Structure 1
Amino acid sequence: MFSRLVQTSSRQGEILEVVLRNGWDFMRRLLTGGKVDEPKLPPPAVLRNILVDLGPVYVKLGQLLSTRPDLLPAEYIDALSTLQAEVPPVDWAEIEVVLRKQFSQPLEEVFASVNYTPVAAGSIAQTHYAVLKDGRAVALKVQRPGLSAVVEQDIALIRLMARLVAQTDFGQYYDIVAIAEEFAEALRNELDFTQEARYTDQLRQNLSGTRWFDASQLVVPQIYWEYTTDKLVAMEWLDGVAVLSAFPPISAAEGVVDLQRREEISTLLLRAFFQQICLDGFFHADPHPGNVFYLKDGRVALLDCGMVGRLDPRTQQLILELVLAIVNLDAQRCTQLVLQLAPPIQPINRVKLETEFDRLLRRYYSLNISQVNFSKLVYEVLQIVRDNKVRVPGNLGLCAKAIANLEGIARSLDPNFNIPNKIRPMMTEVFQRQIVGEAPLIALLRTVLDVKNLSLQSPRQVELLLDRVTSETLQWNFSIREAEPIRRTVDSAANRVSFSIVVGSLIMGAAIISANTQSSQVYWVSDVLFAAASFLGLWLIISILRSGPLR
C-alpha cells in the first residue's frame, strides 16, 4: 500500500515521507501493512512539527483543529493555537499577475497607488495597502498564486488517510471521514474569498445595530464588492495595531496604566461575542489577539472573518443554559444539557458522567469568582464529555475556542476581569428575550394559533386512540437501549454452553466407539472425534480467556 501511494503523486510521497520521518508509529504500521493498534496522536510538539513541515495547507489544518477542543485535549489546542505558516511573501510581480486577472481594466485605472510591500503574509493570502482612484484607502487581500492545485492534492490525500483510519474503532467512533470532509469544505470556503466577504458583511450588519454595547466603539471593515472576487477581497483600511500591542500586559507596561479603558475594551468584546453566540447564532470563530485591533481613533476592530460558527435556535438555548449551569457549578444540570446537545450514539453510564462533572465542579466551589478561569473550566467539561464517548457538535468546540481566546485577551488587558462575574447580569435579559422574543405580540398570536390547532386536532386524536384500544389493534413499541448489552451477554453465554455440550458429546461418542468396537478399521472415527473435540475445546477455552478475567 505504501509504495502504491508514493507512486501516485510526488506530492503524496513528500507528505508521507514527512509523516514517517517525524516518527508517527501508528501511520508507519498502517501504511506498511503491519499490526495496527488503535491510533494515538503524536505528542503535541511532534504534531506541530509535522504540520509545519507539510506546508501552508496543513498549517491551516492545524489552525482549524485548534478551534476544536471537542476533538483534542487542551495541550494539543495550546500547541496548535500558535501555529503560523512560516512562508515568505510572494514577489509583487506574481501578485500583480493575479490582481490584473481580477479586473477588466488596467490596474492604473482602478488604483491611485498600491504598496508593493505586503503588510501581512499568511498561508492562504497576503495583504497590501492601496488607495482607490476616489481616494479611499483599502486593504487588498490577494490569494497566493497556484494555491488551488496544491490544495486539491492535499485534500485528496487527507481523504485517503481518513478512509484508512476509519477502518479502526477510533476512526468509526469519531467519524474521521466526516471530519476530513468538514475540513475540505472549510478549506475550499477559505479559498473562495467572496465567502469571507459575505461573512464579514453579515457580522458587520449584526453588530451595527445593538443595544448590548456602544456599536460606534466596535467596527468590522466594510467590503467594497465592486473590487472583490473569489481571489481578491477589497475592504476598508483600518489604521491601528493589535490590541495587545496597544495595551501590553500590565507587568510589561510602561508608564501610567489606564485600567478603566482596559476594562471597557474587555467588557465591549465580551458583550459583542455574547450577542453573537447567544442571540445572533452567527459568530466570529477565531478572535485571537492578532484579529482584534485597537484603532488610532480609539475604536476596536474585528478582522479576518473567514472562520465563523453558526448555531440554530435550539442549540443557542442549550448552550446558554449550559453556560449558566457551569457558572452556577450545577453538575446535574450540566449532564442533562450535554446529553441534550449530543444524544449519545452508544449506551453511556450517565451516573459516571454526572459524578465526574460533580468532581470537577466541586474543585471550584471554594474559589472566589475572580479566581475561576472560565475557559479552562469549559475545556475540562469538554474533556469529560470526550472521555465518556459523547460526541458533541463541532460548533460547540468553536464556541469554547472563541470563549478561550476572548478570555485570554480580556485577562491580558485586565488581570481582574472574570467572565462568570460579567455574564450573570446579562442572563436575565437574554432569557427574557427568548421568552417574549423581539415582537411579543407576534409571539402571543403564534401561541394562540398553536393552541387553536391543538384544540381542533385533539378530539380526533383521542377518538382514534380509543378506537384502537377497543378494537385491540393498538401496539406498543419499546426500545430499551440498556438491554442490548445484556442480550449480547446472554447470547454469548448460550453459544458457549452449546459448544460445551457439542464438545462433551464428541468426547463421549469417541469413547463409546473406541470401547465397543473390535475392528481397527473404525478406530479412525474415534480419532477424528477426539481431534475435533480437542480443537473445539481449545478454541472455546481461548475465547473465554480473551473475553476477560474469570470471575
Structure 2
Amino acid sequence: MMKAGRVALFPLLPEFHFHRYREIVRVLLNHGLEFLFARLDPQWAPIRRFLRLPAGSVAAPSMPDEVALHLRLALEELGVTFIKLGQILSTRPDLLPPEFIRELSRLQDSVPPLPWEVIRPVIEQELGRPLEDVFAWIDPQPLASASLAQVHFARLYDGKEVVLKVQRPGVPRQVKVDLDILTAWARRVAGTRLGQYYDFVGVVDEFAFTLRNELDYRREARNAERFRRNFAGEPYLHIPEVYWQYTTQRLLVMEYLNGIKIDQFDRLRAEGYDLKRIALNSARIVIKEVLEDGFFHADPHPGNFVILPGEVIGAMDFGMVGFLRECDRADLVRLYIVSVRLDAEGIVDQLIRMGAADVHVNRKQLALDINRLLMKYANLPLKEIRAREVIEEVTPIMFRHHLRLPSNLWLLGKTLAMMEGIGLQLDPDFDVFAVSEPYVQKLTLEMFLPNRAWLEQGLQMGMEWEQFIRALPRTGLQMLEDLERREPLPLQIAGAERFMTQVHRLFIYLVFGILLAALIVALAFLLAMSPTGDWTRILLGGALFLVLGVSIGLLISMFWNRPR
C-alpha cells in the first residue's frame, strides 16, 4: 500500500528513483541553480517538499557565464548520463544561449579509477574464463578512467600488446534510472508553454538512443572496422585492429598504439617529426571522412590521437561518430557556394530547404544578421578565416532565430573547429580551406555532372514510366467498362489510343531531352578544362557541335509531330 500511495502521490517520480531525484536536486542546489525550480506548478507542492526544494521563487542570476560554469560542474558531478547529456546539448545552439554552448563543450569525463578487485571480475565474466587463459600479463593500473569505462594495458601470449576497455559495473542500471527521470521530466515539461515551443521529449529520446548505443562496445568495434575499410588505401592513418574473439557488449579489446599524443608538440619536435606534415594529414583525414565517406570521428580531442613513425596518425575511441547522407553533403556544398558568393538571401533559402529554419522565420531579420556576418569576412582570404571563430559568430544567430541544423552537421562543425585548433598549433600557416578545396570541387562536379547516381535514377524512372504507360490503356479501358456497366449514363472516352500515343511520344522526348542536356553540360565542362590546342579539345568541340545538331533535330521533330 505504501508503494502504491507513493506512486499515486508522485506520478512524476518513476518508481524506486526517489533517492536519485534527491541527489540530482542536491547537486543542482549546491551549485546555485535553485532558480531552475522557481516556476514549478502549484500542484507540485508535495513533490517540492519531498525533494526538499526551496520555497518561493528565485530569480535567475544575471551572470550567464557563471551559471553556465556551474551547470557544467553540476553535470560532471552527476555522472555519466548527465555528462553525455551536456555533450549532446552542446550541439544544440537552438536550445541554449552561446555562453552555455561554449561551457558545455568543455565537459570533462574523468573520474578516479575503480580498484582492480572490482574490475577483474567484470573482465572474467565477459570472457567467460579466467584472465590467465587469455592474457600473459595485464596491468592493474588503468591507462585512463572515465565515468563509463576504464582502460587497461595487456599482453597476449603471442606477444601482441592490446588495450581493454571495460565498462564499469552498475553503469547500465544508473543510465536506465537517469533516463527514466529525464523522460518523466521531459514529458511533464511538454505540457507547459515552453514545452510547446521546444521538443524536449524528442531531445531526450534522441539522447537516450545515442547513449544506449554507446553502452554496447560491439557497436564501437564495428565503427572501428568501418574506419579501417574506408582508409584501407591511406597510409597516413592507422586504425587499431579489433580482437573480436574477446570483444563483448561490455568489453572491447583492441590493438595498443604506442605513439606520442598529437598535442605533445615539444616531444614531437625533439624526436624529429614533421609537424606541418602531421597537420596536413590530420586535415586530410577529416575532409575525407566528411566529403567522401559521410562517416566521421565525432570526438577528435587530442587524447584520442597519437603519432606513429612516419607521421602516421593513430586514432582511438570510436564510440561517438557522425553520419552524413549524400543529401547532407550536397546541402553543405550548396551552403558553401552561396556563402562564398556572399548571398545572404541564398543562405536563408538553403537553410529553409535543409529544414534548419522554419518557413515562417523572420526572413528579413535573419538575412540582415547573416549579411552582417558575411561582411565581416568579405575581404579576407580563406586562409585567414578560422572555423572556430565562424562557429562562435554563428551560434548567437542560431539561438536568436531558433535555427536547428541537424545534430550531425553541428557535430561536424565542432569537429572541424577542434581539428583546426590542433592543426594551427602544429603549423601556424595551417589552412583547412586549402586542404578541403579539391574535395569540394570534386563533390561539386559529381553533383552537377552526369554520374552513376543520375544514370541509376534515370533508369529507375524510365522503368517505372514504361510500366505505367503499358498498364494505363488496359487499366483505363477496364475502369471505363466497369463504369459503363454501373452508371445509368454511358461514360466513354474518345481517342484514348491517340492520347496514349502522344503521352508515349512525350515521354520519349523527355528522356532524350534530359540525356542530351546532361551530355551538353558534361562536354562543355570537359571542353573548358582541356588544354588549348590539344587534340582532345578539338574532338570534344566536334562532339559538342554534333550533340547540339541532334538537339536541334529533336526540337524540329517535336514541332513537326506536335498534336493537331
Q: TM-score range by the shorter chain?
A: 0.7 to 0.9
Q: Alignment partner for residue 450 of structure 1, among 426, 440, 461?
A: 461
Cα offset for 1:325? 3.3
Q: Does 1:219 align with 2:238?
A: yes
Comparing 11-20 with 135-144, greater Cα deviation is found at 11-20
Comparing 342-351 with 15-24, greater Cα deviation is found at 342-351
**Aligned ranges 1:29-40 → 2 under 5 Å:** 29-31=38-40, 33=42
Amino acid at match of 2:202: A
**Aligned ranges 1:41-52 → 2 under 5 Å:** 43-52=67-76
Between the aligned partners of 1:374 and 1:45, the Cα distance in structure 2 is: 24
Q: 1:346 to 1:101 in 2, by over 3 A?
A: same
SS in 1 for 2:260: strand
Query: Which position in structure 1 is the counterpart of 2:499?
Result: none
**Aligned ranges 1:138-287 → 2 under 5 Å:** 138-209=162-233, 215-246=234-265, 261-287=274-300
Between the aligned partners of 1:64 and 1:76, the Cα distance in structure 2 is: 12
Cα offset for 1:219? 1.2
Q: 1:21 to 1:164 in 2, by over 3 A?
A: farther
Query: Which position in structure 2 is the counterpart of 1:15?
Result: 24
Query: Which position in structure 2 is the counterpart of 1:524?
Result: none
Comparing 226-235 with 265-274, greater Cα deviation is found at 265-274
**Aligned ranges 1:66-465 → 2 under 5 Å:** 66-69=90-93, 71-209=95-233, 215-246=234-265, 261-296=274-309, 298-342=311-355, 344-345=357-358, 347-435=360-448, 440=451, 443-444=454-455, 446-448=457-459, 450-451=461-462, 453-454=464-465
> What are structure 2's unaligned runs of at least 5 residues?
1-8, 43-55, 481-492, 494-564
Q: Deviations over 1:465-487 (max 9, x none)?
A: xx9xx9xxxxxxxxxxxxxxxxx
In the alignment of these two chains, the number of paired residues is 455
Amino acid at match of 1:278: L
Task: Provide the TM-score with structure 2 as the length reference.
Answer: 0.72
Q: Percent identity?
A: 35
Amino acid at match of 1:207: F
Q: Deviations over 1:129-176 (max 9, x none)?
A: 111122211110001112121111111111122223323343333311
Cα offset for 1:226? 0.5
Give the conservation status (yes or no) of the 8 Å contact 1:379–1:400.
Answer: no
Q: 1:57 to 1:449 in 2, by over 3 A?
A: closer
Between the aligned partners of 1:74 and 1:102, the Cα distance in structure 2 is: 43
Give the conservation status (yes or no) of the 8 Å contact 2:12–2:184.
Answer: no
Q: 1:294 to 1:65 in 2, by over 3 A?
A: farther
Give the conservation status (yes or no) of the 8 Å contact 1:69–1:400.
Answer: no
Give the conservation status (yes or no) of the 8 Å contact 2:263–2:422.
Answer: yes
Cα offset for 1:394? 1.4
Give the conservation status (yes or no) of the 8 Å contact 2:366–2:401.
Answer: yes
Amino acid at match of 2:288: Q
Q: 1:160 to 1:304 in 2, by over 3 A?
A: same
Between the aligned partners of 2:411 and 2:453, the Cα distance in structure 1 is: 33
Between the aligned partners of 1:2 and 1:456, the Cα distance in structure 2 is: 61
SS in 2 for 1:233: strand
Amino acid at match of 1:167: G
Give the conservation status (yes or no) of the 8 Å contact 1:342–1:392.
Answer: yes
Q: 1:446 to 1:242 in 2, by over 3 A?
A: same
Q: 1:436 to 1:346 in 2, by over 3 A?
A: closer
Between the aligned partners of 1:150 and 1:340, the Cα distance in structure 2 is: 40
Give the conservation status (yes or no) of the 8 Å contact 2:91–2:407.
Answer: no
Q: 1:86 to 1:105 in 2, by over 3 A?
A: closer
Cα offset for 1:340? 1.1
Between the aligned partners of 2:310 and 2:131, the Cα distance in structure 1 is: 31
Amino acid at match of 1:447: G
Q: Does 1:54 align with 2:78?
A: yes
SS in 2 for 1:283: strand
Comparing 86-95 with 47-56, greater Cα deviation is found at 47-56
Comparing 194-203 with 370-379, greater Cα deviation is found at 370-379
Cα offset for 1:422? 3.0
Amino acid at match of 1:22: H
Query: Which position in structure 1 is the counterpart of 2:36?
Result: 27
Amino acid at match of 2:311: G
Cα offset for 1:65? 2.8
Give the conservation status (yes or no) of the 8 Å contact 2:28–2:34.
Answer: no
SS in 2 for 1:85: coil
Task: Provide the TM-score with structure 1 as the length reference.
Answer: 0.74
Give the conservation status (yes or no) of the 8 Å contact 1:67–1:397.
Answer: yes
Q: 1:2 to 1:265 in 2, by over 3 A?
A: farther
Q: 1:231 to 1:456 in 2, by over 3 A?
A: closer
C-alpha RMSD of matched pairs (Å): 3.5
Comparing 181-190 with 135-144, greater Cα deviation is found at 181-190
Q: Deviations over 1:450-497 (max 9, x none)?
A: 3565477589999x9xx9xx9xxxxxxxxxxxxxxxxxxxxxxxxxxx
Query: Which position in structure 2 is the counterpart of 1:540?
Result: none
Q: 1:402 to 1:139 in 2, by over 3 A?
A: same
Give the conservation status (yes or no) of the 8 Å contact 1:174–1:391.
Answer: no
SS in 2 for 1:75: helix
Q: 1:303 to 1:38 in 2, by over 3 A?
A: same
Cα offset for 1:58? 1.6
Give the conservation status (yes or no) of the 8 Å contact 1:278–1:320.
Answer: no
Between the aligned partners of 1:311 and 1:22, the Cα distance in structure 2 is: 38
Query: Which position in structure 2 is the counterpart of 1:492?
Result: none
Between the aligned partners of 2:167 and 2:236, the Cα distance in structure 1 is: 30
Q: 1:461 to 1:408 in 2, by over 3 A?
A: farther
Between the aligned partners of 1:236 and 1:256, the Cα distance in structure 2 is: 23
Between the aligned partners of 2:424 and 2:337, the Cα distance in structure 1 is: 21
Q: 1:421 to 1:98 in 2, by over 3 A?
A: same
SS in 2 for 1:201: helix
